[in-house]
Amino acid sequence: MELSMTARAEAGHTVLEIGGEIDVYTAPQLREELQRLIGEGATDIVVDLSRVDFIDSSGLGVLAGIHRRLRSLDGSLRLVYSHERLLKIFRITGLDSVFDIYDSVDAATAAGQSR
Amino acid sequence: MAHIHLTFSPDPAYMRTVRLVVAAVARRAGLGADAVEEIRLATAEACARAVARHRAHRISTPIEVSMSDGDRFTVRVTDHGPPEPGIGLRYSKGAGVVVNDLNDDDIPDDEVTADMSFVLLKGLVADLKIAHGSASAGTEVFMSWPVNRPVGR
């Protein structure tokens, strides 16, 4: 298994749960899936990275591109993860100040509802 | 001192294999889990850059990854792409570049990703050198990490 993706609707959001490794090989699949969800009308998206073992700049690039796209649609992209491995990568790139990051899907959707 | 040399076709499908190999070699060299993780990600970034360069210039020759575990654990990633005029400027950009890029809608997503890759490399590797060979020799990304072996080993 390299990348698994499962989308569901939850509390007014589209939640995309991802497992596996996001790299230069699998990042295009992630981009396609997120673009498909936006094409179907999703504007408030929560990406759950809790089960992601690896992400490189191509994966971060996809998330950054989708963040821009949703910003232009007046939507939102929220990320869920809590493991140090990912926290460090987001800290180094400064993306921790760009994305809204939560430690659970519940916390992410609750934040969206109180917006 | 052990040497491991790996060559792979410039195809993103092999990036996972490269990560598995470099992580196994770093672990074998006695590096701790955090260092192994840094080495795995930094090598992946250097190799992804090499793959992108080969593909952009339709170069099918393999990319080379050399690892050795002397006083320091070293990884050298060599590509065969042509000289890259903007590399010095990109390399010199500070850590805040990604956030600035994202607030400027005129900067395309792939430029943001390229800047992100360098920021990650610089953030992960204290000893990082990018050397330019002759026109045909491509570029070499050299990285090294300290190896703290137990006394007497």
Q: Supply the ipTM of this predicted assembly.
A: 0.88
Those residues of chain A that have pLDDT short of 70 are 1, 115
Specify the DSSP class assigned to residue B137: T
Q: What is the predicted pLDDT for the residue at B21?
A: 97
Q: What CATH number did the domain enclosing A84 receive? A: 3.30.750.24
For B116, the closest of A54, A60, A72 (CB atoms) is A60
What is the C-alpha separation between B116 and A67, in angstroms, rounded?
Answer: 15
In chain B, what percentage of residues exceed pLDDT 90? 61
Angle subtended at Cα A21 by Cα B87 and Cα B81, rounded to the nearest 5 degrees: 25
Residue A86, in any domain of the structure? yes
Q: pLDDT digit string (tens) for B87-117?
A: 777 777 777 899 888 888 889 988 899 889 9
Q: What is the predicted pLDDT for the residue at B149?
A: 67
Residue A113, in any domain of the structure? no
- Chain B residues whose C-beta sits inside 8 Å of any chain A C-beta: 12-13, 15-16, 19, 37, 40-41, 44-45, 48, 51-52, 95-96, 98-99, 102, 105, 109-110, 112-114, 116-117, 119-120, 123-124
Q: pLDDT digit string (tens) for B66-83?
A: 999 999 999 999 999 888
Phi, psi (deg, nearest 5) at residue B139: -120, 155
Would you call A7 exposed, middle or buried from its count of C-beta atoms within 10 A (0-12, 13-18, 19+)? Answer: middle
CA distances from B74 to B9, B20, B39, B60, B144 (A): 22, 16, 9, 26, 4
Residue A46, in any domain of the structure? yes
Beta strand B3-8 with B63-69 is antiparallel
* Mean local confidence (pLDDT), B124-147: 85
Residue A115, in any domain of the structure? no
Q: Is residue A42 within 8 Å of residue A10, measured between CB atoms?
A: no
Would you call B92 exposed, middle or buried from its count of C-beta atoms within 10 A (0-12, 13-18, 19+)? Answer: exposed
Q: Is residue B10 within 8 Å of residue B55, measured between CB atoms?
A: yes
Nearest residue to A14 (alpha-carbon basis) of A61, A73, A55: A73
Q: Is residue B18 within 8 Å of residue B43, measured between CB atoms?
A: yes
- CA of B19 to nearest chain A CA: how many angstroms apart? 10
Q: Nearest residue of A to residue B119 by CA position?
A: A93
Q: Which CATH superfamily is domain B3-146 in?
A: Histidine kinase-like ATPase, C-terminal domain (3.30.565.10)
Best of A26, A56, A91 to disrupt the B interface (most B CBs within 10 Å) is A56
Work out how many domains chain A is built from and give that number.
Answer: 1
Q: Is residue B4 within 8 Å of residue B67, measured between CB atoms?
A: yes
Contact call for B120 and A94, based on CB within 8 A: no
Each residue of A8-32: b (16+ CB within 10 Å) or e?
eeeeebbbbbbbbbbbbbbbebbbe
Q: What is the predicted pLDDT for the residue at B84?
A: 77
Residue A15, in any domain of the structure? yes
Q: What is the predicted pLDDT for the residue at B133?
A: 65
Q: pLDDT digit string (tens) for B5-62?
A: 999 999 999 999 999 999 999 999 999 999 999 999 999 999 999 998 899 899 999 9
Share the mean pLDDT of chain A: 94
Q: What is the predicted pLDDT for the residue at B153?
A: 47
Each residue of B76-90: b (16+ CB within 10 Å) or e?
bbbbbbeebeeeeeb
Q: List beta partners, residue B142.
A: B76, B129
Contact call for A23 and B16, based on CB within 8 A: yes
Per the structure, the complete domain to which residue A85 belongs is given by: 4-104
User: Strand, helix or coil at A44?
Assistant: strand
Q: What is the pTM of this model?
A: 0.91
Q: How confident is the model at residue B138 (pLDDT cuts 50, 70, 90)?
A: confident
In chain B, what percentage of residues exceed pLDDT 70? 93
What is the C-alpha separation between B124 and B143, in angstroms, rounded?
Answer: 10
Q: Is residue A38 within 8 Å of residue A69, measured between CB atoms?
A: yes
Q: How confident is the model at residue B136 (pLDDT cuts 50, 70, 90)?
A: low
Cβ neighbours for B134, distance < 8 A, ≥ 6 positions apart: none
Which sign does the torsion angle of CA B152, B65, B123, A56 carry?
negative
Best of B15, B101, B141 to disrupt the A interface (most A CBs within 10 Å) is B15
Assess whether pLDDT exceeds 60 at residue B85. Answer: yes
- Kindly state the helix (H) or strand (E) to which residue B20 belongs, with its residue range: helix B15-28
